[in-house]
Amino acid sequence: MKSVVLVTTEDRISRFATTNAGMTVLPEGSVLMVTRSGILSHTFPVLITRIPTAINQDIKAVLPSSFLDGRYLAYNLRSKEREILRSCTKEGTTVASVETNLLENLPLPLAPLNEQKRIADKLDAVLARVDACRERLDRIPAILKRFRQSVLAAATSGKLTEEWRTVRRLKEWPSSTVGESSSLVTKGASPKWQGISYVDDPSQTLFVTSENVGQGQMLLNEKKYVENEFNKKQARSMLKRGDVLTNIVGASIGRAAIYDRDVLANINQAVCVIRVDDSKLSNKFLMYFLNSPQGVANIIGGAVEVARANVSLGTISNLAFKLPTLDEQTEIVRRVEDLFAYANRLEARYTASRALVETLTPALLAKAFRGELVPQDPNDEPASVLLERIRASRADTQAKPKQRRSADRGKPVELELLPMVAEPQSVYRRQKRRG
């Protein structure tokens, strides 16, 4: 027994199940529209079925018709996305939804049937190329992420400056630990445990949490503050410019950044502050090590699994790494920053290209339904004649008595064609001149 796709879950169910449930089975080529969903706040999904499909109450359907090419109708609806969301949305509903009667009466440009097929064929071809371009572009962020991780792995293993070191006849790097190369390794505390309140006052102490410590950068778009009194109780965890911060609690374990502000600040218990001994260790080199694949693996390997994973100060203090000379650390930092700057330029170009690609589909749809995408054939039946045939068919259908639904329970139902076509004055200019 053939199966049916249930659109709401993308599961397959048997035709026996759809018959017993009283579901309408829609044939291949039906146009589906999501008319009730949270996503209607920003998009109006439209698709064409490729196999028999059942739908729930959140989706409306239009069956294929001899008067309209289904692909043409689907693309037409996609071109009207903003107008549908603006003018057809129900007011005062908990979940965003589209008013059916408003959608049914939405005017759409109507081309001759042969031109509809030419438009749909052209859109199939060009939008497939747009989708392929988008897919290729969407691989770039992952490639850039791998590139940055490879740079950090090479930088902190010695491979990035192997030639530089050979020319200077330098020895292999000795081993060290974070504690041996730093003057301070500690963490903060919760203000509530100290009887301190949060305040909305930038003149008080900036309170840095794990949310503010990104991978290689501070994330301080949203700031929190605590009373300055907190610093009297947590003096050791007060921050200085140049301190290395790394997260030691929760999902963000392993992210490290340098505190680059001259603002009075402190940290909570989820953040570890490392103040390096700059006669031995560059803070940037340490930050790059902590963010490197090896550094993150070592930190996560020392995490304790409780309600939320956490890393002890002892684990951070005993974290071992290879320590090059200060001169080589400076060279490593320079090379990493040059390579990261290159990656950032690529990322900026990707962002601009991705934004441009997102404008192509609306632009192509708009061009198609202005009658500018494909050549028009004067031998095509005028759209005004096609519109009259649609009206006559609808009038004939409405004049027939409706059958009881129970008689067709579970069978495909010929859904009435939605009257979403334009009046003659709204069709293409060439068709109006013919009229």
Query: 151 and 124 in one domain?
Result: yes
State the average pLDDT over residues 348-377.
95
CA dihedral sign of residues 6, 7, 8, 11: positive
Residue 9 has what pLDDT?
Answer: 44
pLDDT band per the 50, 70, 90 thresholds, residue 174: very high
Q: What pLDDT, on a 0 to 100 scale, did the predictor assign at position 14?
A: 61
Count of CB atoms situated within 10 Å of the CB of 218: 16
d(CA 252, CA 309): 10
Average pLDDT over residues 185-212: 94
The residue among 323, 349, 368 that closes a domain is: 323
Query: Are 190 and 164 part of one and the same domain?
Result: no
Q: Sheet with 3-6: list strands edge to edge.
A: 11-14, 3-6, 53-54, 25-26
Q: Fill in the DSSP letter of residue 112.
A: -
Considering the domain architecture, whether residues 291 and 183 belong to the same structural domain is answered as yes
* pLDDT > 80? residue 21: no
Residues 157 and 228 in one domain: no
Number of domains in the chain: 3
Q: Are residues 14 and 124 in the same domain?
A: no
- CATH number reported for the structural domain that contains residue 59 in this entry: 3.90.220
State the pLDDT at residue 3. 44
Please give the share of the chain, as a percent, with pLDDT higher than 70: 85
What mean pLDDT do residues 285-296 have? 96
C-beta of residue 248 within 8 angstroms of C-beta of residue 316: yes
Range of the domain at 267: 174-323
Which two structure tokens, joined as six digits, stand for 289? 């090590």
pLDDT band for 319, please (50, 70, 90 cuts): very high
295 and 246 part of one domain: yes
- The residue among 87, 98, 80 whose CA lies nearest residue 40 is 98
Residues 80 and 15 placed together within one structural domain of the fold:
yes
- Residue 207: pLDDT over 50: yes
User: Are 317 and 216 part of one and the same domain?
Assistant: yes
Statement: residue 421 has pLDDT above 50: no
Q: Report pLDDT digits (tens) over 208-223.
A: 999 999 999 999 999 9
Give the integer Cα–Cα distance in Å for 49 and 29. Answer: 5
**Do 67 and 179 fall into the same domain?**
no
Residue in the block written with tokens 């069978």: 411
Q: Are residues 204 and 286 in the same domain?
A: yes
Q: Is the pLDDT of residue 408 over 70?
A: no
| Phi, psi angles (nearest 5°) of residue 141 | -55, -40
Predicted confidence at residue 427, as pLDDT, reads 37
- For residues 334-358, average pLDDT: 97
| pLDDT tens for each residue of 81-115 | 999 999 998 887 788 899 988 888 888 888 999 99
Min mean pLDDT across 70-84, 313-327, 373-387, 408-422 is at: 408-422
Sheet strands side by side (includes 256-258): 182-187, 271-276, 244-247, 256-258
Mean pLDDT of the chain: 86
pLDDT at 406: 45
68 and 106 share one domain:
yes
Could you tell me if 81 and 129 lie in one domain? Answer: no
